[in-house]
Structure 1
Amino acid sequence: MTRPPTKPEPLYDAARSDEELRALVDGRGASVAVYGLGKMGLPLATAFADRVGDVVGVDVDESVVESVNRGDCHIDGEPELPDLVAETVGDGALRATTDARAAAERATAHVVIVPTPITEANEPDLSIFDTVVDSVASGLSPGDAVFVECTVPPGTCRDRLVPTLVERSGLAPDEFGAAFCPERTSSGRALEDITGAYPKIVGGVDAESARVAEAVYERVTDNDVIRVSDATTAEAVKLFEGLYRDVNIALANELGTLADDLGVDVRESADAANTQPFCHIHSPGPGVGGHCIPWYPYFVMSRVDTPTPLLRTAREVNDSMPAFTAGIVERELAERGKPIDGSRVLVLGVTYRPGVKETRATPAGPLVADLKRRGADTFATDPMLDDETIASFGAEPVALAEVGRSDPDAVVVVTPHEAFDAVEWDGFEDVVVVDGRDALGDVGHPTYTIGSGRT
């Protein structure tokens, strides 16, 4: 594909009819800059390149840019992504650069999908977002449209994005578009999610911004595009999805801690209860990880004066589960006459969920810390991670092939990777097992499953 020598026609133009706007997008008449080529950014840039064409991905990591320009994929575990990266780079639809300003000057659509973590004080950290917005502003032209996909506190597009673009670009607010169009993807299925697994949500800071966003994303997704009333509403949609899960998981986790007191298998009870269509209890576990669910409550709580006791309590419950799990390990060892102080405890799984090479907010971190605080010698294995990463959490790394010779007194399942199916449990002697995910079944050793109790 040969790129046009000049900047394409503007997208944000109220004089253009719906038919003309869609014809422009469908005819690959837009030039797109995607800022951030991480786990979600590269799949998004590739999907845009495949369906809209003329895409430049922007990243500060030179090795990432070089990899993409070779047609390589630096993201592991995403079906079809390596082939599509190679294809779109090969036909000229996708390229990458570290020069954000040059990309901004060329593009008519700017898509921001960069990390927005929280600080140690649980405040949203928008520093990377702000840096990218400055770059976008440096090349913003009349008629451009800016779409934000990364999670931000409600009101960010209205109160932060647009004023910054106006101040830094010199344009008036009605000379460009801005919309929030949240990513709704999961690792391991990014392309599938982007291109149609769920409806796409778009919300503009004005009606024309929403119209442009709808037309662009109709080209990217095979599913519906839902236009909500404004950008702030769309920002809240993204957060509410995570808040629902955090609160529901907290309910499941709190119920899971009651299995012994109630004398019931909470998992069995919840499964049976969920056959009623108005009940959707999640599964208990050793904690909640990732860069979404544990952080989203703070994106809301940090922006409101109204008390949010349910959100705060849910966070406290979910944050307490690693300590609860460590306490179960200590109790199960004590039941067999072994103090946890000096016992060898093996942790299976350090990533926050199976099959994903991601450790942000993983419950394995505080679990290891709590086990060590109680005096345990703590080891860990994870097929997705190298020894250095595992050691950074305070556990001594153990190769999966060596776990049978690690002579543990207790084994804790945190993340049930498929590779753990190969663990030879007969190789352990006099070991207690704490299954945080109900992943094991009968392994021939005394087992305590969170939510189900001792078997």
Structure 2
Amino acid sequence: MTDANSSREGFGSLYGASTDEGAQKEAFTSGKFPVAVYGLGKMGLPLAAVFAEICGNVIGVDIDPDVVSSLQNGDCHIKQEPGLGSLVADLVNNDSLQATTEPREAARDASIHVVIVPTPITEQKEPDLAILDTVIADIATGLTEGDIVLVECTVPPKTTETRVFERLLGESDLNRGEFGVAFCPERTSSGRALEDIRGAYPKVVGGIDDESTRAASVIYDTINSEGVLTVSDATTAEAVKLFEGLYRDVNIALANELGQFTDELGIDVREAIDIANTQPFCHIHNPGPGVGGHCIPYYPYFLIKPFETPAPLLSAAREVNDSMPSFTVAKVREGLESQGIAIEDAKIVILGLTYRPGVKEIRASPAISISQELSALDAEVFGIDPLLDSFEEFDIQPIEQDKLYELSVDGLILVTPHEEFEQIQWTELDDPAVIIDGRASLENLETDSWVYTIGRGKQIGKYS
């Protein structure tokens, strides 16, 4: 990585510079502003790779030595991300992308600092900003006049202005107006990260001052083909990111609650939702066995916990979505009892343990709670997921997909419809007494089982 001071000699800085923006973009793309990306997880590594392909001067920082070692060898530890492995290999090979476990060394050399680290929540549902605090403290040790810090990780509103900026101000040797800070949220989905970062959506940018917003816009307008949407300040940008996730959580909760009316109304709620959505102002999601991932189940607490304003709708949505694994288990039990099988005597297989098809991510996956509740009822629980190597989070006996043909089971629950499950030869299986279709993905299945589709209801006999 080129040293920031030597690379900018005779040119100036990005933040607070009098140079016109066209010249700044040219300097950025030619590598005159070294970039450090802090956090090389499933969103951080694609981001570092896109920065590196644009400017050719990026160092990625991660505390995991195995991650850094693999990247130094041109390997990619993030799987199921189209194009990322070959891009990383090429970037490392031509020295556009390097990696280190030493954040302070990276901070000393960089002039653009991009932070994309996790914000977990505690057992009390409080946002835990300890990782972010540590990274910001490291950046402060190497912050130079004219540098800019770009926060991409999702945080509670006001974090960038009152926590990140104030910490940098207090722990560096710089004064207000000598460096920039902006919140520029990642708007990225697993499985399409490169596409999203390069320009599936405009980049949102909000700075702690006008010059921070301007400087950040220069950078992201170069990276993102859809351009930049600037907002009034960093707090507004933080709210934009949160609101995107909160909308989805509340919408899914509505769908899940409506789906539970299926039996009493005697209708296919999914059909009603589909037709309702033909109106341009109606966009109801589909019901399912729960909500997982590292975003939606956690973001509501970024507003619920740190602020005094009541948020009953957000809290209720969380309760509804968190209840869906129990609803799924209740339907398993109902089906088994209708077939004269006690749940404590049942063998049950869960198909799909990750929270989303094709994505190797289990955080808050509904399959975790479903497996634990079934085991607590003394059922014998098996699990199949072609993406996973470890099953420690699940209360199951893991089996390979081809072993399904050798196992006579009483119940089968489709939680996550991976593409690999399309290869299952259903006619070669002993019909389970009960099938729960959590995602309406078994539409063409022919079976004599008792079948229940969440949001569609139950059907006994041929299901096609």
TM-score w.r.t. the length of structure 2 is: 0.95
What amino acid is the match of 2:213?
Answer: A
Q: Using the alignment, how far apart are the partners of 1:142 and 1:14 within structure 2?
A: 11
Matched, 1:195 2:185: no
Q: Residue by residue, what CA displacement relative to the aligned partner does 1:417-436 show, whole Å, maximum 9, x if unpaired?
A: 11111223231234210000
What amino acid is the match of 2:130?
Answer: S
Q: Which residue of 1 aligns with 2:434?
A: 432
Q: Using the alignment, how far apart are the partners of 1:26 and 1:100 within structure 2?
A: 23
Contact 1:3 1:54 in 2 (8 A): no
Identity %: 54
Q: 1:295: Cα distance to partner? A: 0.3
Contact 2:4 2:109 in 1 (8 A): no
Q: Residue by residue, what CA displacement relative to the aligned partner does 1:226-283 show, whole Å, maximum 9, x if unpaired?
A: 0111000000111000000000000000001110011100001100111111110101
Q: Which residue of 1 aligns with 2:462?
A: none
Residue 7 and residue 280 in structure 1: after superposition, are their counterparts in 2 closer, same or farther (change >3 A)?
same
Secondary structure of the residue aligned to 2:307 is coil
Contact 2:36 2:113 in 1 (8 A): yes
Q: Which residue of 1 aligns with 2:422?
A: 421
Q: Residue by residue, what CA displacement relative to the aligned partner does 1:65-112 show, whole Å, maximum 9, x if unpaired?
A: 111111111110111111111111111111001111110011000000
Q: Residue by residue, what CA displacement relative to the aligned partner does 1:286-335 show, whole Å, maximum 9, x if unpaired?
A: 00000000000001111221111100000000000000000000001111
Q: Using the alignment, how far apart are the partners of 2:168 and 2:432 within structure 1?
A: 64
Secondary structure of the residue aligned to 1:105 is helix
Q: Which residue of 1 aligns with 2:406?
A: 405
Contact 2:4 2:33 in 1 (8 A): no
Secondary structure of the residue aligned to 2:98 is strand
Q: Residue by residue, what CA displacement relative to the aligned partner does 1:19-55 show, whole Å, maximum 9, x if unpaired?
A: 4433332443211000011101110000000012210
Structure 2: segments with no counterpart, 5+ residues: 460-464
Q: Which residue of 1 aligns with 2:259?
A: 256
RMSD over equivalenced CA pairs, Å? 1.4
Q: Using the alignment, how far apart are the partners of 1:111 and 1:84 within structure 2?
A: 19
Residue 127 and residue 314 in structure 1: after superposition, are their counterparts in 2 closer, same or farther (change >3 A)?
same
**Could you tell me which of 213, 223, 230 is aligned with 1:227?**
230
Q: Residue by residue, what CA displacement relative to the aligned partner does 1:112-150 show, whole Å, maximum 9, x if unpaired?
A: 001111111101111111111111111100110000000
Contact 2:352 2:383 in 1 (8 A): yes
Secondary structure of the residue aligned to 1:186 is coil
What amino acid is the match of 1:424?
Answer: Q
What amino acid is the match of 2:73?
Answer: R
What amino acid is the match of 2:28?
Answer: V
Q: Using the alignment, how far apart are the partners of 1:55 and 1:26 within structure 2?
A: 11
Secondary structure of the residue aligned to 1:125 is coil
Q: Using the alignment, how far apart are the partners of 2:7 and 2:128 within structure 1?
A: 33
Contact 1:329 1:410 in 2 (8 A): yes
Q: Which residue of 1 aligns with 2:324?
A: 321
How many residues align? The count is 453
Q: Using the alignment, how far apart are the partners of 1:336 and 1:145 within structure 2?
A: 65
Contact 2:3 2:34 in 1 (8 A): no
Secondary structure of the residue aligned to 1:337 is coil
Contact 1:391 1:397 in 2 (8 A): no
> Which deviates the most, 403-412 or 109-118?
403-412
Structure 1: segments with no counterpart, 5+ residues: none
Q: How does 1:345-424 map to 2 (within 5 A)?
A: 345-386=348-389, 389-424=390-425
Contact 1:288 1:318 in 2 (8 A): yes
Q: Which residue of 1 aligns with 2:451?
A: 447
TM-score w.r.t. the length of structure 1 is: 0.97
What amino acid is the match of 1:187?
Answer: S
Residue 17 and residue 430 in structure 1: after superposition, are their counterparts in 2 closer, same or farther (change >3 A)?
closer
Contact 1:416 1:439 in 2 (8 A): yes
> Which deviates the most, 236-245 or 16-25?
16-25
